[in-house]
A and B are shown apart, each in its own frame.
Chain A
Amino acid sequence: MLNFILKRLGLAVLVALTVSAISFSLLFMAGDPAAALAGEQATDVDIEAIRRLYGFDRPMIVQYWEWLSRALQGDFGESYYFRLPVSDLIMERLSITMTLGVCGISFALLTAVPLGVVAAIRPNSLIDRFALFLSVMGQAMPSFWFGLMMIVVFSIQLNWLPPSGTKTWVHFIMPTIVLGYYAMPAIMRLTRAGMLDVLGSDYIRTARAKGAGEGRVLFKHALRNAIIPVVSLAAVQMGFMLGGSIVVESIFALHGAGYLAWESIGRNDLPTVQALILIFSMFYIVFTFLSDVLNAWLDPRIRVA
């Protein structure tokens, strides 16, 4: 087990380093950062001064190393736009994105898993078809459009829910549904397929034969095994959702980290964009690492492979 964790941790660190190098190089892909900082009116002398001041004249590898070692200590430099430390800006906004992500994945799991289980218990029933219909719709629906349509119906027509803001939990209802619905189809399908597979297996027949109650068979024996792949999928989806919340946050004007990313890209605020790409990647890497370890702990067969 320890061997598996160490190997997996090594991979996670390598991936994180590569991603950090890629997001760092974005700064130089965008052209001369000193010229961008100086603005359009600047003379060559000004640009040269800024280049010295920010250290852009040094070799790239030195700059990367410095950026990385500072980033590891939580210092992502100063935002070009706000002239404030990037880490402060992000910390301020991250709680909204995290709340949204947790609510979204909970909504997805709470709807998708029960639906998937019921659909697997009664294949081809009305509920099964309804679940399939929901997942087919969810996969084809553009989330930004779904969000806008919800605003049209529930905020403008019915006046039930606020269209934007973050003041109370009511403000999070529509964003949660939109973000969660994006993750739901895959989780539902995987739960259904896993349950169908498990319900046909020998140990379920044994459990039934020895007279275990149906509820016990379904939840204690079947769901416990079928849920393992769902856990890792949910971790992956959670990582995607935090990165994808940028769309939802822009629709509902939630001033979270995704919204900050969108604004910063528009403002050419590269230190902020770099930091956000790195942080969102880190979330993904940490979630998938934890889910892999959890899976290895639950299922010894994974540890060997």
Chain B
Amino acid sequence: MPGSIRVFGWLEMARTADTLLEDIQGPTPGQMLRKRIFGHQGLLFGVAVLGLLLLVAIFAPLLAPHDPYAQDLLARMQPPVFLGGSWEHPLGTDHLGRDYLSRLIYGARISLLIGGFAALISGLIGTAMGVAAGYFGGRVDMAVTFLINVRLAMPVVLVALAIVAVFGGSLQVVILVLGFLLWDRFAVVMRSSTLQVRSREYVTAAQAIGCSTSRVILSEIMPNIVNNLIVVVTLEMAHAILLEAALSFLGLGVQPPTPSWGLMVSEGKQMMLFEPWLVAIPGITLFVLVLAINLLGDGLRDVTAPENRS
């Protein structure tokens, strides 16, 4: 019997030699991935805009035409160029005569710093909890699920406002508060991703040959759930940026004179009746940044999803 199987095998191979050759000459997985990436408009747009804003934030001192903190009380609320202003202040000046474009450029730093670090902290907390719950199950899982429930039950904006009010609104406090509040989605997604991967053969195999728990988690489980993690990172980064803006808008986030976009909207609100652009402009930049991050996240999910690989 073994012999006949072998004969059949050879016949099979001969018959499929042509198709095999086609398979070999077909696109490699890398090429297919590249094709999926460059065929995804949203992803490309997100990467381009986010990259541009990152560059703006990094090179803010070189790009800003003025000092974002320098007041010029003789040149207050000058309109932007497109509303009849001068090129001296392309986006006009605010109620203290500070150059709006320069504040906007430095504001990109605040938003990206807060978004990035808040997502980093909450990502570390949430991933550790979620992976532990998914991998160990049982009591660990019950405890983590309970903590997720507690966290979801607390009104984020209210709790964040109350804590910032207690500790004062510095950049560090806002980052920490958001980082310690926004881990819930990380925990939920990482828990279910780990549950899916945990019973796969390669995990069992690693356990069988005696790999340590940390090794199984770090080199067998993590690489296989990191796609989902990246998508959640983008979502939570966008979430943190919007929340910081809302907190600063309510006066209990980053404090003046820091050029936070949310704070700029709040300061412009007083003059909204006559100078609506003071509110419109920082809101638009905020919208564009969050849109770019969301499109990047959606795109990454589309591109890396296994069901799109056929």
Contact = CB atoms under 8 A, between A and B. Distances in A.
Interface of A: 11, 14-16, 18-19, 22-23, 26, 29-31, 136-137, 139-145, 148-149, 151-152, 156, 236, 239-240, 242-244, 246-247, 250, 258, 261-262, 265-266, 268, 273, 276-277, 280-281, 284-285, 288
B150 A19 contact: yes
B203 interface: no
Central interface residue in B149, B153, B245, by most chain A CB within 10 Å = B153
B97 interface: no
Contact of A145 (B165, B250, B286, B295): B286
A303 B255 CA distance: 49
B152 interface: yes
Given A148-B279, A247-B157, A280-B158, A140 B150 contact: no
Given A140-B238, A142-B262, A273-B162, A15 B153 contact: yes
Contacts of B291: 136-137, 140
Given A136-B294, A145-B287, A242 B155 contact: yes
Nearest to B295: A136
B265 A265 contact: no
Central interface residue in A14, A31, A141, by most chain B CB within 10 Å = A141
Contact of B165 (A16, A236, A246, A268): A268
B129 interface: no
Contacts of A276: 158
A141 B287 contact: yes
Contact of B154 (A19, A141, A266): A19
Contacts of A15: 146, 149-150, 153
Interface string B134-168: 00000000000010011011111111011101100
Contacts of A26: 162-163, 166
B173 to A, nearest CB: 13
B45 to A, nearest CB: 11
A26 B158 CA distance: 12
Nearest to B291: A140
Contact of A244 (B155, B166, B283, B295): B155
A152 B279 contact: yes
A240 to B, nearest CB: 8
Interface residues of B, number: 39
Interface stretch (B11-19, B30-38, B269-277): B269-277
Central interface residue in B154, B291, B295, by most chain A CB within 10 Å = B154
Nearest to B145: A11
A139 B150 CA distance: 25
Contacts of A11: 146, 149
Contacts of B211: none
Contacts of A268: 165
A120 to B, nearest CB: 17
Given A18-B150, A266-B251, A261 B287 contact: no
Contacts of B237: none
Contacts of B290: 139-142
B152 A284 contact: yes
B158 A277 contact: yes
Nearest to A144: B249
Given A15-B146, A145-B283, A240-B155, 6 more contacts: A142-B290, A148-B269, A244-B156, A266-B252, A277-B155, A284-B152
Given A11-B146, A280-B158, A266 B165 contact: yes
17 contacts: A15-B146, A15-B150, A18-B146, A140-B290, A140-B294, A141-B290, A142-B262, A142-B286, A143-B246, A144-B262, A240-B155, A243-B156, A243-B158, A246-B157, A247-B249, A250-B250, A288-B152
Given A145-B265, A265-B165, A140 B287 contact: yes
B242 interface: yes
Central interface residue in B157, B283, B291, by most chain A CB within 10 Å = B157
A130 to B, nearest CB: 16
A131 to B, nearest CB: 15
Contacts of A284: 152-153, 155
Contacts of A22: 150, 154
B162 A142 contact: no
Contacts of A142: 242, 245-246, 249, 262, 265, 283, 286-287, 290
A139 B292 CA distance: 11
Contacts of A140: 238, 287, 290-291, 294
Contacts of B150: 15, 18-19, 22
A281 B150 CA distance: 9
A266 B155 CA distance: 17
Contacts of B155: 240, 242-244, 246, 277, 280-281, 284
A276 B150 CA distance: 16
B280 interface: yes
Central interface residue in A19, A236, A258, by most chain B CB within 10 Å = A19
Central interface residue in A15, A236, A246, by most chain B CB within 10 Å = A15
Contact of B166 (A18, A30, A246): A30
A144 B265 contact: yes
A277 B154 contact: yes
Contacts of B152: 236, 284, 288
A159 to B, nearest CB: 12
Contacts of B272: 148, 151-152, 156
